[in-house]
Chains A and B, each alone.
Chain A
Amino acid sequence: MKVLIPVKRVLDYNVKARVKADQSGVDLSNVKMSMNPFDEISVEQAVRLQEAGTATETIVVSVGPAKAQETIRTALAMGMDRGIHINTDEDLEPLAVAKILKAVVEAEGIDMVIAGKQAIDGDNGATGSMLAALLDWPQATFANSMEKNGDSLTVKREVDGGLQTVKVSLPAVVTTDLRLNEPRYASLPNIMKAKKKPIDAKTPADFGVDTAPRVTTVKVTEPEARSAGVKVEDVAALVAALKTEGVI
C-alpha cells in the first residue's frame, strides 16, 4: 500500500499571529515556521504503517515556498521514504491544493492519503475532504484511531457527541485528529539519513492545475481585544461579583 502525506508549513503553534499594519494579512517575516501539528500526526501514522509492514512506500508532499523543503525534510527524518515539493510562493487555497494532490495521487498510484484535519493558519479544514470528493474516494475525517483490515479501513472518529466508528473501502482519505498518536522526535542519525532521501521538485503548472484564487481577502484585522478584569480576593468576593453581573 502506497501512502501519501500532505504537509503544510505554517506559523509555529507557539507563536502568536500578528496582524500587519496595512491589514493585508498576518506578518510571517522573521517568525518561526513549523510543520502543521496535525500533519506531524499524519506523518507519525504513516511511519507506523510502514513499521507494521502495512505501508510499502510513504511519500510526503508539500505545496509551498522553497522553505517547505525543510518541512519535507522533517517528515523524512521522522522516517518517511521520499518527498515531493511543489514550489509556489502563493498560499494556495484548499481547493487548488486538493486539485494538485489529486494529480499527485494519480501519478503515484496512491492507496491512502492521510491529511491533517485542519491547517492552523487558515483554519479551513477543507483540503482532505475536497481531495476525497475529487478522487471519488470515501473519507474518514477526524481520526482518533485507525485499523486496516484487508481492503478496508475501520476508523474511530472524534465527533461532537463523542466517538463514531466508520468503515471505508480503500483507497480512501483519512484526516487526523489530536488523539490519533503522539508524533516522535526525529533522532540525530535519522536527521542525517533524511538529508540523502530524494525530494522531487515540481510546480503547480506541472500538474496543469488552475490555482487562481477564488476568494479574495478584503482585509485582516486584530480581533476585538478583551481586557484583563479584576482579581478577586476570595470565593465570597467572586460569588458577590457574579451575582452583581446577574450571571448566577
Chain B
Amino acid sequence: MAILVVAEHDNETLKDATHKTVTAALAMGGDVDILVAGKGVKDVMAEAAKVDGVRHVLAVDHESLRRQLAESMQDVIVPLMSEYDAILAPDTTTHKNYMPRVAAMLDVMQISSITGVIDAKTFERPIYAGNAMATVKSGDTKQVVTVRTTAFSPAGESGSADSKMLADPAGPFKSEYIGEELSKSDRPELTAAKIVVSGGRGVGSAENFAIIEKLADKLGAAVGASRAAVDAGYVPNDYQVGQTGKAVAPELYMAIGISGAIQHLAGMKDSKIIVAINKDEEAPIFQVADYGLVADLFKAVPELEAAL
C-alpha cells in the first residue's frame, strides 16, 4: 500500500502540519511519500526529505502552484493517484479547498478531518461540532482523507528520503490569484502554539483587544477569538477558533469574555488545560474549564498580566 501526503508549506518552510499528517499516514500502514507542490520549493523539499518514515519526496515547482489554487492542485494530484492507494492532507484551508475536487475526480467519497486512524480504511472523526464521534469505514478503492492535525503528534526529523521532480501542470486554469491580506504577527501560529489566549464578544471592541494581546505576549501565546469577536470586527477572520474556524489543542487555552457556545467548544475542548474568565458565573464555558475565574475581564486580565 502506498500513501501520498501533501505538504503544508509557504514555499519557504515546511509546516508542522505535514509532520502530523505523516503520523496519521504511517498509522494506516504502508509506504508514505510526500508531495511538495509550489514555486521555489527547494528548501521545503529538503525539509520534507528529513521527515521520519517517508520513502520519497515528489515535487512540482511551477508558477501556477505558488498559491496552491484548487484547479492546479487537482491537475497535479489526480494523475499521480494511479500510483497510490490513499492521499492525506492537513485540514487547513489550502487543502480543504482542493481535496474534495481530487476525491470527486477519483469517484471517491472524501473523509474529512479525521482525529484517529483505526486501520487503512477506518477512521474516527468528529461530527455535529464534535458533539458526536463517528467511526467510519471507507468502501472505496482509494481513500481521500483530510487530517485534523491537532489530534496527531508530529513525526520526527531524522529521515533521509530521496526526492524527484515531477512534470509541470498543464494549465491554463480558470482561476487566478489576485492578492492577499495576511495578518502579520510575531506570535506563534494559532494551531501550533503551546498557549492560546482567546477573546470574545465580552472584550467589547477592537481597541480593547489590546489587553488580550498584551497578556498573550507576556505568555508567548497565540491570540484567538470567538466568531462573535470576528464578526464584530475586533480581530481578523483567521483568529476564529471553533467548528467553522480553526481547531486548536494547546497546553493552555484561556477563554476570556467567551460564553462557550458549542461551536466554539468544538475548536478548543481538546486543549490540555482550559481557563475561563467570565463575569457570568452561569456561562457554559465554566462547564469545560479546569480553572474558572468569575470576574470582570477588564480588571482581571491586566491584573493577571502584571502577576506573570
Interface residues of chain A, those whose CB is within 8 Å of chain B, are: 11, 13, 16-19, 26, 38, 93-95, 98, 117-118, 120-134, 137-142, 144, 154, 157-169, 172, 177-179, 213-223, 226, 228-232, 234-236, 238-239, 241-242, 245, 247-248
Contact = CB atoms under 8 A, between A and B. Distances in A.
Nearest to A175: B97
Contact of B238 (A117, A162, A218): A162
Interface residues of B, number: 90
B159 interface: no
A128 B239 CA distance: 24
Interface of B: 67, 69-71, 74, 92-94, 96-105, 107-113, 122, 125-140, 173-183, 191, 195, 219, 227, 230-231, 236-238, 243-244, 246, 251-252, 262-263, 269, 272-275, 281, 286-295, 300, 303-304, 307-308
Q: State the main secondary structure of chain B at its contact with A.
A: mixed
A17 B112 contact: no
B252 to A, nearest CB: 4
Contacts of B275: 238, 242
Nearest to B302: A235
B252 A247 contact: yes
Contacts of B227: 178
B127 A26 contact: yes
Contacts of B105: 133
Contacts, number: 261
A169 B103 CA distance: 22
Contact of B132 (A17, A141, A213): A17
Contacts of B122: 218
A118 B287 contact: no
Given A123-B127, A215-B136, A141 B70 contact: yes
A177 B231 CA distance: 11
Given A129-B98, A133-B74, A17 B138 contact: no
Given A95-B108, A235-B304, A238-B293, A160 B176 contact: no
Contacts of B67: 164
A16 B127 contact: no
B110 A163 contact: no
A214 to B, nearest CB: 4
Given A123-B129, A223-B132, A138 B175 contact: yes
B137 A228 contact: no
A178 B183 contact: no
Contacts of A172: 174
Contacts of A241: 291
Contacts of A238: 275, 291, 293, 304
Contact of A159 (B102, B178, B238): B238
Contacts of A117: 244
Contacts of A248: 195, 219, 252, 308
A93 B97 CA distance: 18
Contacts of A144: 237
A102 B308 CA distance: 57
B273 A239 contact: no
Contact of B286 (A128, A218, A231): A231
Given A93-B109, A162-B180, A235-B303, A125 B96 contact: yes
B84 to A, nearest CB: 18
